[in-house]
Structure 1
C-alpha cells in the first residue's frame, strides 16, 4: 500500500528540481530572490500538508487491518509502480509544464512547489514504513478498491496485512533487499 503513496514521489521530486533549476535561470516578474524565497516557503508548506493529510484515516485503516488469506493475490511492486505512473503521467507532465511556465512570473517557485509535493509523499511513505516495521507487517490494499490512486480514499474500507517478507516490496514501499544465501563449499 505504501508503494501507491511512494510511486509518484520521484516523478514529482525530480521534475520539480529540474523546473526550479530552469526557473532560476529566468529573471521573471518578481525577480530571482523573491521567487526562490517564495518557492522555499511553498516547498515547506506543500511537504508538510501532503505529509499530514489523511494520516488519521491511514492510522484507522491500519489498526483495523485484517490478515490476508492464502487465496489473496498480491500485486508486484513493479506492476503497481508502473500502473500508478502510467495513470498519472499526463498530470505529471502538465504539472511540470505549469511549473516551468510559472517561472516567468515567479522564478523557481513552481518547481519548488512540485518538489515539495514529492518530498511530502516520500515522507508519508517513510512514516508508513516505520509503522510496518514496528508492527512487523506489510499493509496491502485491494487494487480494485483504490479509486483514483487514493490508498485511504472512501472506496477503501479495509487494509490487509501480510508478513514483512511477503511480495517484493519492503516496508515503506521500497524494493525489498534481497540477501543472497551463503553457498556451501
Structure 2
C-alpha cells in the first residue's frame, strides 16, 4: 500500500460472510434429510435438529465476545493511506477461502441424515444464524460507539476468516459513513435520486 497504508476489511462483514452459505446449505441439507427415514426416525431427527439449531446459534453468537470487546476498545483510528476493502470483496474472499469447508459441512450434514434425519442440516443452519446474530451484535456496538471496526487484511489469515484470531493485534476505526456496508455488515442502502 502507498506510504505505509494497510488494506482493511470490515470486522462485521467478515463475520457475516459465512452466515448466508451456512444457513442455505443447512436448510437444503435438512430438507434432504427429512426425506430419509434414518435410524432414529424423522420425528426424533427433527427434534434433535431443532435443539442443535438453538445450541449452535447461541454458541456461535456468543463465542469470543470478550476478545471482540477488547479489540474494539483498543481500536486505533484508521490512517489516511489505509485502503478500505469493499464489502463484496471481503465476502468473496471469505467464501473462496472456505468453499471446501462449506462443501464438506454440507456433505456431512446430508450424510448424517441416514442416522438422524435433518439434524446435521439444522446444526449447519444454526451456525449460520449464530453468525448473523454476532454480526448484528457487532453492528449495535458500532452504532453505540459511532465508529466502524476494521481489521488488517493480512492479519485475517488464510481464507480471510478470523477477525478475532490470535494473529489479529488490533482493530482500526472509522466514522460510520466510511465504506459500503452498514454497521453490522449489511449492504448500505443508497439514497434514491430525486
Instruction: Give the TM-score of the pair, scaled to structure 2.
Output: 0.92
Partner of 2:174: 162
- 1:181 CA drift (Å): 4.7
Match of 1:179 in 2: 191
Where structure 2 has 5 or more consecutive residues not aligned to the other structure, the ranges are: 1-10
Alignment of 1:40-59 (within 5 A): 40-59=50-69
Measured against aligned partners, the alpha-carbon deviations of 1:34-90 in whole angstroms (never above 9, x if no partner) come to 101110111111111111110000000001101101111111111010010000111
Render the CA deviation track for 1:146-171: whole Å, top value 9, x for unaligned: 12411001110110011111111111
Choose which of 92, 95, 99 in structure 2 pairs with 1:89.
99
Secondary structure of the residue aligned to 2:173 is: strand
Higher mean C-alpha displacement, 144-153 vs 31-40 = 144-153
Match of 2:162 in 1: 150
Distance of 2:125 and 2:192 partners within structure 1: 36
Instruction: Work out the CA distance in 1 between the residues paired with 2:154 and 2:118.
Output: 38
* Equivalent residue number for residue 118 of structure 2: 108
Q: Which runs of 5+ in 1 are unaligned?
A: none
Cα distance in structure 2, aligned partners of 1:22 and 1:122 = 24
Match of 1:8 among 8, 14, 18: 18
State TM-score, norm by structure 1.
Answer: 0.96
Q: Give the C-alpha shift of residue 180 in structure 1.
A: 3.1
The alignment of Structure 1 onto Structure 2 pairs a total of residues equal to: 182
The separation in 1 between residues aligned to 2:37 and 2:61, in whole angstroms, is: 32
Q: Distance in 2 between matches of 1:99 and 1:180?
A: 42
2:167 and 2:99 mapped to 1: Cα distance?
23
Q: Report 1:54-73 matches (<5 A).
A: 54-73=64-83
RMSD of equivalent CA atoms: 0.9
**Alignment partners' CA distance in 2, 1:73 and 1:118:** 29
Q: Secondary structure at the match of 1:84?
A: helix
Which ranges of 4 or more aligned residues in structure 1 deviate by more than 6 Å? none
